[in-house]
C-alpha cells in the first residue's frame, strides 16, 4: 500500500516536470519566432548602427527679406543634446546637467548608440554644456524658423513645419529656393559604439538655401496693417483687407488680411477664431445654432478654424465686386465706342429690363447726368444702359482682355478663379447686373490687376512678391520675371478713365479719399453679400496716385462692417490714411495747388 502510494506521487511529480519543460520549450519557440519574424528588422538595424553612425547636417533655410532690407523670416539656432552611452566616463556629472533628471538618467544608462536627451535648447545653454567637455555628450546645433515681426504679413509669408519645410504662403511657394540641400557626417564605430578615429569621418557639406528678396515693403505693410486694424475695430468688421501695389510692374508693396495671426505660433487659434458656431437639428427637427468653445472643439473643427485663420482673402476667396467694377464697364463702353463723354443719361431712380425693375441706390433718381457724372454718382440704371450697349459677347471679351476670366498668376498658393455665367446663359437681366458688378465673383486681386491695366497705359501685369534670390556670398542667383500683356486697353481710353476716376475722388463718391495737393483717382463700392437680404455688406474702395501718372494703386475691403456700410464713407478714408503716410515715403510729391481767380 505504502509503495503504491509512493509510485503514484512520483508519477505525478514526473508528469508535472515534463509538462513544465514542454511549456518552457514552447515559450522559447514562440519568442524565437517573434524575434525572427517581427523584431529581426530592429535587431538588424541596431547591428548596423553600431558600425556606421550617420548624422545629418541640416542646410540653413534662406531668409525672406523685403526689398528695403528688413528680414521678415529668419532662423534661430537651437541645440539638441545627445548622449553616447559607450563614451560616458562620468555618468553622474552627465545626469547632473540639470535637465529632466529622470529622463537623462534613463538615457545615460541605456545601452544604445545615441540617445537624444533634449531638443530646442537655446544656443547659450548648448554652448555652456559644450564648455563642460563631458565625455559622451554631444551638442548638435540646428536652426528653427523665426519671424521677427510676429503677425506682420502672416497670410503672405506663411510658415514652416517641424522639419523646416514650407507649409503655406511664400514659404511653400519658394520651397525649392529657400530649402537648400542637407549634408551628412558618416562616422565608423566599433561594436561598443566607440568612434574609430583612424577610419576618419566622411562629410558631405550642406548647401544652404538662398535668401528670397520680395517686393513687400516693411513700412508700407506696417502702415497698411495699422490702418486695417483701426477700421476693423471701429467698424466691428468680420475682416479687413488692404492691397498696395505698383500698377506699372505688379510689385506688391503690402497685402494685409486682418485679423492676422502669429507666425511664431501658427497652430494657436487667435481670439477671433477661438470658437465655432454650428447649426444642428434638435429632437423636433428644428435648426438650432450652438457655439462651441475652444476647449470643446474636435480636432477636425480646430483644423477648419486654423485653415480659415490662415486664409488670404485677397486671393483665396472670391466676392461680388459691386460698383468698383463700373470702371471696367466704363472702359469697355469707351473702347467699343458706344459712349462718348458728351452722352447724357437720365436716371429716374430705377430701370426696368427684361421684365425686372432694378433700382438705383439713389431711389429718387440722379436726374440728367453726363457720362462722367454717371461714374461719379455710381448710377446703376446708367451703367445697365452702358453695359447693354457693349453687349454680352464683347462684355466678356473685355473682361477677358483685362484678365478677369483667369487667375492673376500671383506667386502665392491657392489662388481662386472667376465664378461667372456661361456666355450663352447671359440674358438682358444677367448682363444688366454684371454691368454694375453683380451676379459673378472674382478675387480682390483680379480687380486690382484689371484696374492697373486701365490706368498704366494698357499693360496687363502679373501681381507678384518675389524679386530675386541671393546666395550666402551675396550674389544674385535668380531674377524673377513675370508675364505682361500689352494693349489690354488703348492709351486713349486709359487716359480718359484716369481723368474720370480723378473726378470721382475730387467731386464724386470717392471724395473721402481726397488729399489736398495730391491728384488721386478711385472708385467706391458697396456690395450686398450673398444670400441677398442677409443684411451683410462688403464696403470697398480702389484708389491710385498720382492720377495722371499712377505710381501706386491700393484697395481696401471691409467685410461685414457694423453700422454705416458705404464704401465711400468707410473704405475710402482707410486708403486716404494709407496714402497720407506712404505717398511722401514713395517720393510722390505734393503738387503746387493752383488757385484760379474764379
Ligand atoms: Zn441713378
What does the pLDDT look like over 576-586, one tens digit per residue?
A: 999 999 999 99
158 within 8 A of 262, measured Cβ to Cβ: no
- What is the C-alpha end-to-end distance of the chain, expressed in Å? 146
315 CA → ligand 1 middle, Å:
32
pLDDT at position 459 is 97
**CATH architecture, domain defined by 56-86+111-214:** Alpha-Beta Complex (3.90)
- Is 323 annotated in the active site? yes
Share of the chain above pLDDT 90, in %: 64
Grid cell at residue 570 = 468707410
Question: Which H or E run contains 218?
Answer: helix 218-234
* Of 131, 134, 137, nearest in space to 118 by CA: 137
Q: 97 or 344, which is more confident? A: 344
Is residue 594 scored above 60 in pLDDT? no
Paired with 75 in beta bridges are: 145
Is residue 251 scored above 50 in pLDDT? yes
Helix boundaries (H) for 96-187: 101-109, 123-132, 154-157, 169-173, 175-179
Paired with 582 in beta bridges are: none
**Residue 287 φ/ψ, nearest 5 degrees:** -75, 130
350 CA → ligand 1 middle, Å:
7
Going from the C-alpha of 145 to that of each of 164, 191, 211, 363, 471, the distances in angstroms are 7, 38, 13, 56, 18
User: Of 323, 435, 439, 540, which is the active-site residue?
Assistant: 323
Q: Which residues contact 249 (CB under 8 A, 6 or more apart)?
A: 461
Confidence category of residue 90, pLDDT binned at 50, 70, 90? confident
5 CA → ligand 1 middle, Å:
121
Question: Where exactly does CATH 3.40.710.10 map onto the chain?
Answer: 316-585
pLDDT at position 7 is 67
Angle at alpha carbon of residue 451, lines to 333 and 460, rounded to 5°: 95
What is the spatial distance between Cα 477 and Cα 472, in angstroms, rounded to a whole number? 10
DSSP tag of 533: T
- For 351, the 3-state DSSP assignment is strand
Secondary structure (DSSP) of 63-86: PEEETTS-EEEEEEEEEEEEE-GG
Lowest mean pLDDT segment, chosen from 279-293, 322-336, 560-574:
279-293
pLDDT at position 198 is 57
Is residue 597 scored above 50 in pLDDT? no
Is residue 275 scored above 50 in pLDDT? yes
91 within 8 A of 214, measured Cβ to Cβ: no
Q: Which residues contact 560 (CB under 8 A, 6 or more apart)?
A: 237, 238, 239, 529, 536, 537, 538
pLDDT at position 23 is 79
314 CA → ligand 1 middle, Å:
30
Can you give the three-state secondary structure of 456-511, one letter per residue? CCCCECCCECEEEEECCCCCEEEECCCCCECCCCCHHHHHHHHHHHHHHHHCCCCH
323 CA → ligand 1 middle, Å:
12
* Of 516, 514, 565, 513, nearest in space to 539 by CA: 565
345 CA → ligand 1 middle, Å:
9
Q: 138 or 432, which is more confident? A: 432
Going from the C-alpha of 550 to that of each of 495, 521, 544, the distances in angstroms are 11, 9, 6
Is residue 18 scored above 70 in pLDDT? yes
Is residue 444 scored above 70 in pLDDT? yes
Is residue 548 scored above 70 in pLDDT? yes
545 CA → ligand 1 middle, Å:
27
Q: 531 or 314, which is more confident? A: 314
Question: Where exactly does CATH 3.90.1310.10 map onto the chain?
Answer: 56-86+111-214
Confidence category of residue 122, pLDDT binned at 50, 70, 90? confident
Within 263-377, strands assigned E span 275-281, 287-293, 344-347, 350-353, 356-359, 367-370
Q: For residue 475, with 0-12 CB atoms within 10 Å meaning exposed, 13-18 middle and 19 or more buried, which class applies?
A: exposed
366 CA → ligand 1 middle, Å:
4
Q: 9 or 522, which is more confident? A: 522
pLDDT at position 92 is 76
Instruction: Output the average pLDDT for the chain.
Output: 89
Q: 110 or 416, which is more confident? A: 416
pLDDT at position 114 is 76
Q: What is the CATH number of domain 316-585?
A: 3.40.710.10
What is the spatial distance between Cα 451 and Cα 445, in angstroms, rounded to a whole number? 10
pLDDT at position 289 is 87
Is residue 398 scored above 90 in pLDDT? yes
Secondary-structure breakdown of the chain: helix, strand, coil percentages, each rounded to the nearest 5:
40, 25, 35
339 CA → ligand 1 middle, Å:
17
Amino acid at each position: 500500500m505504502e509503495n503504491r502510494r509512493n509510485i503514484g506521487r512520483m508519477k505525478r511529480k514526473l508528469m508535472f516536470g515534463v509538462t513544465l519543460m514542454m511549456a518552457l520549450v514552447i515559450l522559447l519557440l514562440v519568442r524565437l519566432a517573434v524575434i525572427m519574424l517581427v523584431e529581426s528588422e530592429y535587431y538588424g538595424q541596431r547591428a548596423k548602427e553600431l558600425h556606421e553612425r550617420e548624422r545629418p547636417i541640416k542646410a540653413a533655410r534662406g531668409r525672406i527679406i523685403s526689398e528695403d532690407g528688413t528680414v521678415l523670416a529668419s532662423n534661430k539656432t537651437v541645440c539638441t543634446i545627445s548622449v553616447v552611452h559607450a563614451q560616458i566616463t562620468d555618468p553622474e556629472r552627465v545626469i547632473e546637467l540639470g535637465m529632466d533628471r529622470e529622463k537623462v538618467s534613463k538615457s545615460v544608462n541605456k545601452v544604445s548608440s545615441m540617445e537624444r536627451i533634449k531638443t530646442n535648447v537655446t544656443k547659450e545653454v548648448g554652448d555652456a554644456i559644450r564648455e563642460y567637455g563631458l565625455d559622451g555628450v554631444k551638442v548638435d546645433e540646428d536652426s528653427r524658423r523665426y519671424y521677427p515681426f510676429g503677425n506682420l504679413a502672416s497670410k503672405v509669408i506663411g510658415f514652416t513645419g517641424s522639419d523646416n519645410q514650407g507649409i503655406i504662403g511664400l514659404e511653400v511657394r519658394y520651397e525649392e529656393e529657400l530649402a537648400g540641400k542637407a549634408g551628412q557626417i558618416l562616422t565608423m564605430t566599433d561594436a561598443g559604439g566607440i568612434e574609430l578615429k583612424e577610419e576618419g569621418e566622411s562629410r558631405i557639406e550642406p548647401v544652404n538655401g538662398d535668401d528670397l528678396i520680395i517686393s513687400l515693403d516693411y513700412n508700407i505693410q506696417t502702415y497698411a496693417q495699422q490702418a486695417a486694424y483701426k477700421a476693423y475695430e471701429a467698424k466691428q468688421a468680420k475682416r479687413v483687407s488692404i492691397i498696395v501695389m505698383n500698377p506699372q510692374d505688379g510689385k506688391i508693396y503690402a497685402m494685409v488680411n486682418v485679423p492676422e495671426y502669429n507666425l511664431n505660433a501658427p497652430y494657436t487659434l487667435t481670439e477671433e477664431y477661438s470658437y465655432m458656431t454650428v447649426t444642428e437639428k434638435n429632437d423636433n427637427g428644428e435648426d438650432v445654432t450652438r457655439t462651441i468653445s475652444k476647449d470643446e472643439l474636435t480636432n477636425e473643427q480646430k483644423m477648419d478654424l486654423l485653415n480659415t485663420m490662415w486664409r488670404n482673402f485677397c486671393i483665396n476667396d472670391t466676392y461680388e465686386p459691386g460698383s468698383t467694377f463700373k470702371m471696367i464697364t466704363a472702359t469697355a463702353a469707351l473702347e467699343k465706342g458706344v459712349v462718348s463723354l458728351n452722352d447724357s443719361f437720365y436716371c429716374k431712380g430705377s430701370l426696368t429690363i427684361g421684365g425686372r425693375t432694378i433700382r438705383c441706390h439713389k431711389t429718387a433718381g440722379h436726374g440728367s447726368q453726363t457720362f462722367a457724372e454717371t461714374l461719379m454718382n455710381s448710377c446703376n440704371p446708367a451703367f445697365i444702359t452702358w453695359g447693354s450697349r457693349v453687349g454680352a459677347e464683347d462684355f466678356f471679351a473685355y473682361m477677358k482682355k483685362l484678365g478677369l476670366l483667369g487667375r492673376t498668376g500671383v506667386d502665392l498658393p491657392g489662388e481662386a478663379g472667376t465664378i461667372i455665367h456661361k456666355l450663352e446663359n447671359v440674358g438682358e437681366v444677367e448682363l444688366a447686373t454684371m454691368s454694375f458688378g453683380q451676379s459673378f465673383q472674382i478675387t480682390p486681386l483680379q480687380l486690382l490687376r484689371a484696374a492697373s491695366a486701365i490706368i498704366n497705359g494698357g499693360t496687363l501685369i502679373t501681381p507678384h512678391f518675389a524679386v530675386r534670390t541671393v546666395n550666402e556670398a551675396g550674389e544674385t542667383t535668380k531674377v524673377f520675371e513675370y508675364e505682361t500683356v500689352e494693349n489690354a486697353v488703348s492709351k486713349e481710353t486709359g487716359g480718359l478713365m484716369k481723368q474720370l476716376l480723378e473726378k470721382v475722388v475730387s467731386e464724386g463718391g470717392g471724395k473721402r479719399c481726397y488729399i489736398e495737393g495730391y491728384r488721386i483717382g478711385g472708385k467706391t463700392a458697396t456690395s450686398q453679400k450673398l444670400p441677398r437680404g442677409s443684411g451683410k455688406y462688403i464696403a470697398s474702395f480702389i484708389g491710385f496716385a498720382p492720377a495722371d501718372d499712377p505710381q501706386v494703386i491700393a484697395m481696401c475691403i471691409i467685410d461685414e462692417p457694423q453700422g454705416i456700410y458705404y464704401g465711400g464713407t468707410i473704405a475710402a478714408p482707410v486708403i486716404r490714411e494709407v496714402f497720407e503716410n506712404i505717398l511722401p515715403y514713395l517720393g510722390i510729391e505734393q503738387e503746387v495747388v493752383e488757385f484760379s481767380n474764379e
